[in-house]
Structure 1
Amino acid sequence: MTQPMMNGAHAATGLLAGTVVATLAQPTVPGVALGALSGAGAALLPDIDHDRSTITASSGPVTRAAAELSQALARWTYRHTRLPHDPRADGKTGEHRGLIHTPVFAVVVGAALAGATLVTDWAGIVAVYLLTSAALRSLRWSLPHRVRRMLQLPRRTAPPLYALGITGALVYANAVAAVGVWLGGIVTLGMIVHSLGDGATHSGIPFTWPLARSCDRCRGGSRCPGVRWDRQHVLPAAMRFSAGAGVEKGVQVCCLVLTLLVMVPELGRALPASW
C-alpha cells in the first residue's frame, strides 16, 4: 500500500472530483486549489483501515491513532451487523475494505465535517491540513523526478511541512471559510470515488451495507438468512483488475489531464476576480 501506484490513482480521481466541485462551489484560485487538494486527500481516506496506507502514515501519530480507531470500529460493526451467511468474524475480519469503504460511512463523515464547519472554522482548517498532507504525500510521485528532488519531496517531513504552508495560505485567502459546508461534500465524494475504484478490482466493496441481501449460494432463495457484507463490483468480471496493476497508472494520467482541462479555464476566469 505504500508504493506510489497503489494510491496514486485514488488521489488523482479525488483530485479531479474535488476540482469539479470547487469550480461550482468556490470558483476562485484559492477555492479551486483547496477543493483539488482536499478531494485528493479524501480519496485516500477509506484506506485508513489499513496499517500501511498512505493516509495512515500521512500525519504521524494523529492519523495512526485515527487508523486504530477506525479499524476497531470496522471490526466491531462487522461483528454486530453480520448475518448468518456472512463469513464468521475472526481476528481482523471486516477491517480492510469493510465499513470505512462503504458509501454510507462516506456520507456520515462528510455530514459530520459539514456540521463541524458550522460550529467552528477550526474544523475546516484541521481537515484541510490533514487532507492536503495526505494528498501531497501521494501526488508527489506524479511529478518529474527532478522536481521532486528540487522540492525535497521524497523526505517524509516534506509533505506535512508543505501542507502547513498551503493551509496557512488558504486560511489567509479566506478559502477555507468560503468553502464552508461544501468541504463535507468534497470529502464524501472523494471517499466514494475511492470505493468505486476499489469496486473495479477483483476484491470489490460492500456497497449495499447495511442492507440485507440473499447470498450467491442460495441464489436468491426466500429461505436465505441473508448477507450484509458481500462485496459488489462496478465492472464485469472480465474487466476487473488487481490493485496495483498497470491500468491504475493509466487512470492516474487520465485524471490528471482531465483535472487540468477543468482547472485551467476556471482559473482563467477566476484569476482577475480573486487576486
Structure 2
Amino acid sequence: MMGHTHALTGAVAWLGVAPTLAALPLLTDSSRFVETGVMVNALNPSEFIAGTIICAGAAMLPDLDHPSATIAQTFGPITWMLSKAVAWVSGGHRHATHSLVFAAAAGFGAHYLANTYPIGRDILVALLIGLAIRAIGIGVPGNKMATAMVDIGLAAGLFVVFRSYNVGYAWLGLAVGIGCLIHVVGDCCTEKGCPVLWPVPGRWVLPWKIGIKTGQAFEQKLLAPVLSIAIVGLIYLRFVQF
C-alpha cells in the first residue's frame, strides 16, 4: 500500500479501537495497569487527537526499511540514515519490520520509553508526527530539502501544541503497536504479502490473486476517500461523546 493509505488506516484504527480499550475496566481500574501506565488518563480530547496523529505515523514505521521510499526523506538525512540502518538490520524491504514480532517489539519499546526516558519518548513522538505529515503528502513538490524543513517545522509545531495541552503519553506503546500492526495487515492485502510470522519463512497474502495492487485505481480512487470519510465520521462521533 502507499504511504497515505497506511497513515489513514492507522488513524482509523486508533479512532475506532482506542476508546473501547480505554473503557475496559482491566485497563482503567486495575492498580497493576495504573502503575504501569498503560491507559492512564489516555483519552481526553487533546490526547485522543494526538493519538490519532501518532498512530498514523506509527503505521509508517515498518516502511523505514525502504531507504528509497519517500517516507525515508521525512527529516532529510536524519531519517534517510535511520532508514538505511533499519533496512540493514531487518534484511531489506518487507522483511523483519513487516511482522508481528516487530509490531509487538515496537509497541513495548515505545511503552518503555514513555515511562522511563522522557527525552527518548519525545524524540519518538516527534518522529511519528513527522512520518504522519509526510505520509499525507504535505511538502514542497520537487524539493526534498524544502519538504524536509516543512516536515520538521510542522512536527515541532504540533509537538509544542501537544505540550501546551499537557498531553500525556501513557498510551504511546498502544498507539505504536496498533499502527505497526495495521500496516502489516494492510500489506497482507496487497499482491506481495508480508512475512507475518518472521523469522518463520513464508509470506501471507490474500488468496486467488485478489490482492490490492499498490497505487492503482482501487487504492487511489476508492480506498483512500473511504478511509478519509471514516476518519471524519469517527472524530465527529467521538467528540460528541466528550
What TM-score results when the alignment is normalised by the length of structure 2? 0.81
Aligned amino acid, residue 73 of structure 1: V
1:165 offset after TM fit, Å? 0.6
Structure 1 position 168 matched with structure 2 position 160: yes
Structure 1 position 121 matched with structure 2 position 92: no
8 Å CA contact 1:39–1:187 kept in 2: the answer is: yes
Q: How many residues align?
A: 216
Aligned amino acid, residue 7 of structure 1: G
Structure 1 position 39 matched with structure 2 position 11: no
Name the counterpart of 2:84: 68
Aligned amino acid, residue 160 of structure 1: I
1:159 offset after TM fit, Å? 2.2
Aligned amino acid, residue 70 of structure 1: V
Q: Determine the C-alpha separation between the residues in 2 that align with 1:34 and 1:124.
A: 14
Name the counterpart of 1:263: 235
Aligned amino acid, residue 171 of structure 1: R
SS at match of 1:229: coil
8 Å CA contact 1:27–1:266 kept in 2: the answer is: no
SS at match of 1:237: coil
1:244 offset after TM fit, Å? 1.3
1:22 offset after TM fit, Å? 4.5
1:97 offset after TM fit, Å? 0.3
1:116 offset after TM fit, Å? 1.3
What TM-score results when the alignment is normalised by the length of structure 1? 0.72
Name the counterpart of 1:19: 15
Aligned amino acid, residue 186 of structure 1: A
Q: Determine the C-alpha separation between the residues in 2 that align with 1:28 and 1:257.
A: 23
- The gaps in structure 2 that reach 5 residues or longer are 23-38
Q: If you compute each CA radius of gyration, which structure gives the higher value, 1 or 2?
A: 1
Q: Determine the C-alpha separation between the residues in 2 that align with 1:6 and 1:62.
A: 22
Worse-matched range after superposition: 22-31 or 236-245: 22-31
SS at match of 2:136: helix
* TM-align CA RMSD: 2.1
Match of 2:198 among 209, 212, 227: 209
1:169 offset after TM fit, Å? 0.9
Q: Determine the C-alpha separation between the residues in 2 that align with 1:21 and 1:168.
A: 26
1:130 offset after TM fit, Å? 0.8
Q: Deviations over 1:4-50 (max 9, x none)?
A: x8211111101111233444453322112211111111111111111
Equivalent pairs: percent with the same residue? 26
Name the counterpart of 2:129: 132
Q: Determine the C-alpha separation between the residues in 1 that align with 2:15 and 2:151.
A: 20
Q: Determine the C-alpha separation between the residues in 1 that align with 2:97 and 2:131.
A: 17
Aligned amino acid, residue 214 of structure 2: A
Aligned amino acid, residue 182 of structure 2: V
Cα 1:126–1:96 shift into 2, 3 Å: same
SS at match of 1:123: helix
- The gaps in structure 1 that reach 5 residues or longer are 76-94, 142-147, 211-227, 271-275
Match of 1:97 among 94, 108, 131: 94
Q: Determine the C-alpha separation between the residues in 2 that align with 1:158 and 1:51.
A: 20
Q: Determine the C-alpha separation between the residues in 2 that align with 1:61 and 1:9.
A: 24
